[in-house]
Protein backbone atom coordinates (compact mmCIF):
# COMPACT_ATOMS: atom_id res chain seq x y z
CA UNK A 1 0.00 0.00 0.00
CA UNK A 2 1.10 3.47 -0.88
CA UNK A 3 -0.58 6.85 -1.11
CA UNK A 4 -1.35 5.92 -4.74
CA UNK A 5 -3.15 2.62 -4.03
CA UNK A 6 -2.72 -1.14 -3.61
CA UNK A 7 -0.32 -3.53 -5.29
CA UNK A 8 -1.22 -7.20 -5.05
CA UNK A 9 1.43 -9.81 -5.83
CA UNK A 10 0.97 -13.57 -6.28
CA UNK A 11 3.25 -16.25 -7.73
CA UNK A 12 1.69 -15.65 -11.16
CA UNK A 13 0.70 -12.00 -11.36
CA UNK A 14 1.05 -8.47 -10.06
CA UNK A 15 -1.89 -6.04 -10.04
CA UNK A 16 -1.85 -2.38 -9.08
CA UNK A 17 -5.04 -0.50 -8.24
CA UNK A 18 -5.37 3.22 -7.67
CA UNK A 19 -7.55 4.10 -4.70
CA UNK A 20 -10.06 5.61 -7.12
CA UNK A 21 -10.61 2.21 -8.81
CA UNK A 22 -12.17 0.78 -5.64
CA UNK A 23 -13.02 3.78 -3.47
CA UNK A 24 -15.02 1.93 -0.81
CA UNK A 25 -14.26 -0.77 1.74
CA UNK A 26 -15.94 -3.01 4.26
CA UNK A 27 -14.54 -5.03 7.11
CA UNK A 28 -15.56 -8.43 8.41
CA UNK A 29 -14.14 -10.49 11.26
CA UNK A 30 -11.72 -12.17 8.84
CA UNK A 31 -10.97 -9.67 6.06
CA UNK A 32 -11.11 -6.21 4.55
CA UNK A 33 -12.84 -5.85 1.15
CA UNK A 34 -12.23 -2.96 -1.24
CA UNK A 35 -14.76 -2.40 -4.01
CA UNK A 36 -16.23 0.06 -6.47
CA UNK A 37 -19.46 1.93 -5.84
CA UNK A 38 -20.24 1.62 -9.57
CA UNK A 39 -23.09 -0.92 -9.80
CA UNK A 40 -21.80 -2.03 -13.24
CA UNK A 41 -18.42 -3.12 -11.85
CA UNK A 42 -18.18 -6.58 -10.35
CA UNK A 43 -14.55 -6.58 -9.09
CA UNK A 44 -13.46 -6.37 -5.50
CA UNK A 45 -10.27 -7.07 -3.57
CA UNK A 46 -10.02 -9.24 -0.46
CA UNK A 47 -7.36 -8.46 2.12
CA UNK A 48 -7.44 -11.42 4.55
CA UNK A 49 -6.60 -10.61 8.14
CA UNK A 50 -4.78 -13.93 8.48
CA UNK A 51 -1.99 -12.30 6.45
CA UNK A 52 -1.37 -9.77 9.22
CA UNK A 53 1.51 -10.62 11.53
CA UNK A 54 0.24 -8.76 14.59
CA UNK A 55 -3.30 -7.84 15.75
CA UNK A 56 -2.24 -4.17 15.81
CA UNK A 57 -1.61 -4.46 12.04
CA UNK A 58 -5.40 -4.55 11.53
CA UNK A 59 -5.66 -1.15 13.21
CA UNK A 60 -2.88 0.24 11.01
CA UNK A 61 -4.48 -1.20 7.86
CA UNK A 62 -7.88 0.20 8.87
CA UNK A 63 -6.31 3.64 9.38
CA UNK A 64 -4.76 3.54 5.88
CA UNK A 65 -8.07 2.46 4.33
CA UNK A 66 -9.95 5.16 6.27
CA UNK A 67 -7.49 7.77 4.99
CA UNK A 68 -8.00 6.82 1.32
CA UNK A 69 -11.41 5.12 1.05
CA UNK A 70 -14.98 5.46 2.27
CA UNK A 71 -16.14 2.80 4.68
CA UNK A 72 -19.33 1.23 3.44
Burial letters 38-69, b for 16+ CB under 10 A, else e: eeeeeeebebeeeeeeeeeeeeebeebbeebb
The CA distance from 25 to 34, in Å, is 4
Q: What is the pLDDT of residues 5-38, one digit of tens each?
A: 999 999 999 999 999 999 999 999 999 999 998 8
3-class secondary-structure state, position 33: strand
Q: What is the pLDDT of residues 59-70, one digit of tens each?
A: 999 999 999 999
pLDDT surpasses 90 at 42: no
Residue 39 — very low, low, confident or very high, per pLDDT cuts 50/70/90? confident
Amino acid sequence: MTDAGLTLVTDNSTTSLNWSAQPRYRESKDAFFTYSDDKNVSCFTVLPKRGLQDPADADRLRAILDRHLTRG
